[in-house]
Amino acid sequence: MSDSTGTNFQSLPQLPTGENMEKVKSMVDSMLLDDAAVQKMMSVLESEMKKGMSKDESIRKTSSCQMENTYVTQLLDGTEEGDYLALDLGGTNFRVLLVKFRQGKAESISRNYNLTKEQLHGPCEGVFDHLARSIGKFLQEENITNRLPLGFTFSFPMTQNALNCGVLVTWTKSFKCPDGVGQDAVKMLEDAIAKIGGINVDIVAVLNDTTGTLAAGSYLDHQCEIGMILGTGSNAAYMEYLTHMEKWEGPIDSPKQQVAIDIEWGAFGDNGSLDWLKTDYDIEVDLHSNHVHSFTFEKLFSGMYIGEIVRLCLLHLQKDGLIFKGGVSDKFSNRWIFTASHVSVIEEDNLKGTSEKLDGVLKELDMQNMVSESDKDVIKYTCAVVSLRAAQIIGAATAVLLNHISKPEVTVAIDGSLYKYHPKLHDLLMGVISKLSPSTKCKLILAEDGSGRGAGFVAAVATRLQKQH
């Protein structure tokens, strides 16, 4: 059987027969979205996006989608030439890259650098000084003496006021600097570079990893209009017509002129607009997460949370006496112990009709002697359903963008470990998207290293646009 959202329930593994298993199936299947829920989620996302682009600030403030203007008005067109630098900062490790365009083909070399705990927790001047020194070191080691444009991937929430101006909204991840919020990341880096001296770079663009993925996708396929992160967290950016972007303040040269919009959809629903969609498991995941009552959308499916949703569902079944009659191990009782990689390898078993990978997971979690054969079937079934729900949610959101863009062919570039390693997610997504956006021929491609190479690509586009004006 297949419903109109393209969810092929035949892709789910079979459960053994019996009254207990009927109860299991009913409880686990209740996580899946029916047609009405899918359509409602799509219309809520459309509404939130529209409000986020409104000219009226009081309307914008009610939206859970930031709809950030990136000022990236074009993507790669194949005419790029020359050398460009990229700085990719998103965590404790950061990278400096050299991207070389020769006849439209790009090659890159990169070096990794680290930030110390002292730098992460001290005044942010220490972070930017270290970034500047590392750029200087890279230029020296690669024997680069000519002045180069630099694209800066700064993977933190920011408000962009220009292509090369990004004001930090908040530090996230392992950064705990007491200052820097409300300041322009580009200016802070430029000041550090000026202080050191002798570093020949022009910072021409600041972007986040989603915009970088969109740029990296346009290098692989000129039909690319959407960039998406499906990893530990999730976000998306897409090419929007300026005529739809009410809050655009610059000139509009033609009705077809576009700009890349960073949706910041990880936070979609933070205003309560998705509360109706949450299961008890989603509510519990949120309450025990690092950022309670925020990042609502990505908590429904992203890599950080998908394994915990499975674990909570299995514990619920166990409490109801339906599985794990011998109880669960101390390890399995720990929150976050069951991960996205566990879900992915168990889904490999589902594809092959074996339990080989699952046996390895059970051993790792000290559960190998506590699980019956029918319990194994339930674990595999639950992983399949939670994966299918993820595809329904991501696929529906992607379809909103495709229907909004409204072109005959659109490529979606995706980066992130969940998409890369989950063996069924690509096919499940294609099934959902083809049903929900039937008038667009959609292609999903893996665009790795959008945060690194993508910054170099945006620097190349920015340089080309500067020459045109």
- The one catalytic residue in 63, 95, 184, 387 is 95
Query: Is 4 considered catalytic here?
Result: no
What is the Cα–Cα distance from 332 to 393, expressed in whole angstroms?
Answer: 27
Could you give the CA distance from residue 262 to residue 412 in angstroms, rounded to a whole number?
Answer: 14
Half-sphere exposure of 339 (CA within 13 A, CB side): 12
88, 129, 184, 209: which is the annotated catalytic residue?
Answer: 209
Catalytic annotation present for 95: yes
Torsion angle defined by CA atoms of residues 385, 386, 392 and 394, in that order, rounded to the nearest 10 degrees: -160
The one catalytic residue in 63, 134, 155, 355 is 155
Cα gap 273→262, rounded to integer Å: 20
CA 280 – CA 276 distance, rounded (Å): 11
Q: Whose CA is closest to 297, among 272, 328, 262?
A: 272
Contact of 85 with 150, CB cutoff 8 Å: yes
Q: How far is CA 149 from CA 97, 164, 201, in A?
A: 12, 11, 6
Active site residue 209: yes
Cβ atoms of 358 and 383 closer than 8 Å: no
Indicate which residues carry an active-site annotation: 95, 155, 209
